[in-house]
Structure 1
Amino acid sequence: MPAIEAVPESGTSSLYSSSAKNDAFQKKWEENPIDAAFQKDNQSAGSSRQIVKLYSDYANKWKNEIASAYDRLMTVSGNDAALKNEQNSWVSGQAAALQKIKNSVVSGGTGASVAIASKIMQFYRSRAQQIYSELYQYDPKFTFSGN
């Protein structure tokens, strides 16, 4: 399976004030335990049903990771208003974004289910990456919760 790459879905981002921070954060991000666990679990998912379940399970893990990282970000940022607004905007656009993902897959059947589940997991993973990049600016030694 190729490496997972982040695709911002929120349309808003205040990521990275310098390329050095970008490189350092990217290195830390590549070591996150959820991607490592996903790669391992993905090797044993044989059927389309198992793959859809795997993506769904990991979408939930990323949702939990978003909540944890956001709570920590609010603590270290002193409840920064711009960050709160960005998260509120993402949350309020979540249902529409998920519907757009579902509508983007034109074919039906198992292939469509796998594609949708994969894109939904990526949607949450991308948001977690955005929040962690913000957290990194305040606390470069943060740890992933690994839910």
Structure 2
Amino acid sequence: MNNSYLKRHEQNIDSADLLINKHGHYASSEITMVQPQSSSLVMKLVREISSRHKEMSFAYEFNKISNQHVVDVMPKDKFTSDEYLLDEAMVTKAFIEAFPDETILFVCDDQHITVAKPTFVAGPAMESLSYEYHKKLSA
């Protein structure tokens, strides 16, 4: 598991918690809590791609402000493989056909676009991250 990847996500979680604590429920509901119907399709598609790429991990979040679905993928060497990119293109096509007014974005190790509070995770590294995140919230 990539320690810098997990450390970056822990920092993002801390930043998101600070934003929510500073601005209250409004920030929370605007950024991560309200999700469109298309979220269920994204989760289904991510579950499917995850089953074909068992060595990869995925974290999904919907950003209401940008009306964008963001899927963080790891590891980077698999993210750039031809086999994965072909599957990602098919997922993107299926999503756009169903929801042409929304966008989906797949990222990997991006400093500027991250999934701070995943609503869905798949794969070994993300399941561990999700557990740590939920453990932190309940503390």
Higher RCO (CA < 8 A, seq sep 6+): 1
Question: Normalized per residue, which structure has more helix?
Answer: 1
TM-score for the superposition, normalised by structure 1 = 0.31
Query: Which structure is larger by alpha-carbon Rg, 1 or 2?
Result: 1
TM-score for the superposition, normalised by structure 2 = 0.32
Question: Normalized per residue, which structure has more strand?
Answer: 2
